Amino acid sequence: MVAAGKVYLVGAGPGDKGLLTQRGAALLAAAQTVVYDRLVGADILAMIPAGAKRIDVGKRAGDHPVPQWRINQILVEQAQNGGPVVRLKGGDSFVFGRGGEELEALREAGIAFEVVPGITSAIAAATYAGIPVTHRDFCSSLHIITGHRRQDQQLQLDYPALVRLGGTLLFLMSVASAGEIAEGLLRAGMDPQMPAAVVENGTRPQQRRFVTALCRLKDTVQKNAVQSPALIIVGRVCALADEFDWFDALPLKGRRFLVTRSRDGAQKMADGLRQLGADVVCAPTIETRPLEFLWPDLSRYTALVFTSAVGVEAFMERLWQQRQDARALFGRRLFAVGRQTAAALRPYGLRADFVPSRYSGQDLAKQLLEQRLVGPEDDLLLIQARVAAPQLGQVLTAAGIAHKKLDVYETVQLPVTGVDPAAFDAVTFTSASCVRGLMAALGDTYDCRAIRALCIGPQTARAAAACGMRVEVSPEATIPAMLRWMGELAYDERT
């Protein structure tokens, strides 16, 4: 439950969408206004409701285009306007996030507030780098320290005290001060060979990790052009980084993919790729829209053939609008073109009577005939898109099976700008419509030979090949199977 006129201070975590808390995600979904910093992950910003007001206050280390006093003022003003306000901050709001200052301003203005903790990058970035911040054989304490300094001033750190602590030192906002930090610790007597690490873009697909010795920390940062956001870790636990590395070992780590689907579908594919370590850009090329259609007399048909999960949703929604439910399908057999289409029937209490071993309309028709599941006495209703592959109907017609097509939705192309498919390791396509949508955006003069197309099935592959793309086809036409296949491809290419 969210309250009008209330500000929710939400820690968004270090960047990985999967590290946002459930409470934070629920508040974000209900927000009318979202005030966010630049370090909040793009995938998290994509969760903001379409109708919500977005206010980018642009804060990141060393760059505050909107001063803190003005941010405080914005929060008060937006809360006074009435809607629930989410203040979205990278990491945790109270770990060098100036969240306390914002709460002071809200309290003085009499604005109600709630704080939702976030996972701090100090812990998460180290974890994604394979570095446990504590280990009983190496240290008994950890210390989070800001490496941020005011312009033209030195850090005000008690280096001898930090050395005496003997624990793991985690320096946030510290890239610009790496040399000063290393020099201060060395002057205070820390072992020059003390293990140290730098983690750039922690928890994100672009993460880079460098393990070194304290005496070489400054050179490591400079040589590798490390940029903010980055975490500096000093302590014996850094020696475990290679042994415990798991993030860099993910099968798609270091690879970039362009995902083309409808908006909802693209996000599902993108989430799966990111879990495998990939860097993903979503460029939805299509959108599905339900069509108005004359409701058929279902009693004349012996079976309904569903050719997509979208078709299931559109048909069942229209069934409900007719003040009917699944009982209207009693006595009719249900055939689904694939596993995902069959899964879309289940929430309505329906089970597909048959799913082909290969997920295409042509294979569905052939296997129905081969297994004698349909015959001359049948009349099939094909529930499909307005523009659909013709093979299903062609095979049925050739076999003399009566059927009628019912167009329940259409696929429309969406504009795609600012994306060059050749700049990615591969482009994923889950339908021929996605291929056509991308080609419409690229234009006829684009050289598609530079595009590596990973396709969900033969029909999609044919569309991509016709454009000149370098085509590879998933052995099974489902998203989970396609993701497994992509991971296996990457493994084979590395070995």
Report the CATH number at residue 74. 3.40.1010.10
Mark whether 145 and 200 lie in a shared domain: yes
Mark whether 293 and 404 lie in a shared domain: yes
Choosing from 119, 154, 183, the residue where a domain stops is: 119
**Residues facing 406 on adjacent strands:** 383
Mark whether 109 and 147 lie in a shared domain: no
What residues contact residue 155 under an 8 Å CB cut-off, 6+ apart?
Answer: 147, 149, 177, 180, 181, 184
Q: Which residues are catalytic?
A: 37, 59
Please indicate, yes or no, if residue 251 is contained in any of the structural domains: no
Q: What is the pLDDT at residue 1?
A: 59
Please indicate, yes or no, if residue 249 is contained in any of the structural domains: no
Q: How far apart are the first and last CA of the chain?
A: 51
The tokens describing 453, both together, are 């197309």
- The residue assigned the tokens 């922690």 is 202
Please indicate, yes or no, if residue 250 is contained in any of the structural domains: no
Please indicate, yes or no, if residue 201 is contained in any of the structural domains: yes
pLDDT single digits (tens) 72-110: 999 999 999 988 999 999 999 999 989 999 999 999 999
Which residue ranges of the chain lie beneath pLDDT 70?
A: 1-4, 59-64, 149-153
Alpha-carbon dihedral angle through residues 260, 265, 270, 271, given to the nearest 10 degrees: 180
Q: What is the pLDDT at residue 152?
A: 58
Mark whether 21 and 61 lie in a shared domain: yes
Strand 426-429 versus strand 256-260 pairing type: parallel
Range of the domain at 263: 256-285+414-494
Mark whether 356 and 429 lie in a shared domain: no
Residue 112 phi/psi, 5° resolution?
Answer: -70, 145
Choosing from 71, 92, 119, the residue where a domain stops is: 119
Please indicate, yes or no, if residue 404 is contained in any of the structural domains: yes
Q: What is the pLDDT at residue 61?
A: 56
Mark whether 129 and 175 lie in a shared domain: yes
Q: Degrees (nearest 5) of the Cα angle 116, 117, 118?
A: 120
Where does 36-98 have alpha helices with state H? 42-45, 68-80
Q: What is the pLDDT at residue 418?
A: 78
Closest C-alpha among 218, 95, 220 to residue 146: 95
Q: What is the CATH number of the domain that holds 188?
A: 3.30.950.10
Mark whether 385 and 481 lie in a shared domain: no
Mark whether 281 and 420 lie in a shared domain: yes
The tokens describing 92, both together, are 């945790």
Q: What is the CATH number of the domain that holds 472?
A: 3.40.50.10090
Mark whether 169 and 146 lie in a shared domain: yes
Mark whether 408 and 418 lie in a shared domain: no
Q: Are 337 and 359 in contact (CB under 8 A)?
A: yes
Please indicate, yes or no, if residue 115 is contained in any of the structural domains: yes
Please indicate, yes or no, if residue 180 is contained in any of the structural domains: yes
Choosing from 60, 94, 119, the residue where a domain stops is: 119
C-beta atoms surrounding 329 within 10 Å = 20
Q: What is the pLDDT at residue 62?
A: 56
Mark whether 281 and 233 lie in a shared domain: no
Tell me how many domains the chain contains: 4
Q: What is the pLDDT at residue 375?
A: 94
Mark whether 153 and 214 lie in a shared domain: yes
Please indicate, yes or no, if residue 293 is contained in any of the structural domains: yes
